[in-house]
Amino acid sequence: MAAFRTCSRYSCDWAVGANSFAQKRTSNTCSNKFEPTGIVQQKLRISLSRMKHLSYLLLILLLISSCQQTQTIQHSKAEAASRVARSMIGQPYRYGGQSPGGFDCSGLVWYSYKKVGVKTARTTKELRKQAKKISRKELRAGDLVFFKGWVRTNHVGIYIGDGRFVHAPSSGKKIKIDRLDTGYWDDHFKSAGRILK
């Protein structure tokens, strides 16, 4: 009987120990269920923060891309206007003229830009106000070049690149190309301007 009790006692002790171990495992398992929740929440916050920053970055890139596309379109229109002006070479000068039958200087600018869908001022004075002032070094096809007379700025032409511009010179002459860096035009150059900014 003693041996049986001892075995029983040991069996009970083992059972108690096993039960205790099981309780500990259960306790640990339960606590482990809660630990990942905090980690997941932290990772979620980090992910949301990264997504927010990524969204801002994408928005900035889209805005930059949009601006570049707009500038490209405007530059293309300015170049197209310069080609229109070149196509009028040989047409007569006519005071107040703004059609292929005859142009004055500002009439040529007005007509050339109108043909590419851009509205401009009609006089040299107003064109100078409308155009954004740029340096001579910044000139590109389609920009305007202004020249001074005895008292004021009274002449305008359309730059076509390589130091050249198209203009309607004066009564009795025809639309032609001249260079900015030679003779009268170099001496009387006043400023340069850009219609499409």
Supply the residues annotated as catalytic.
105, 155, 167
Tokens, residue 169: 């010179």
CA separation for the pair 128, 62 (Å, rounded)? 33
Contacts with 165 (C-beta within 8 Å, 6 or more apart), sequence order: 145, 157, 158, 159, 177, 178, 179, 180, 185
CA separation for the pair 37, 48 (Å, rounded)? 16
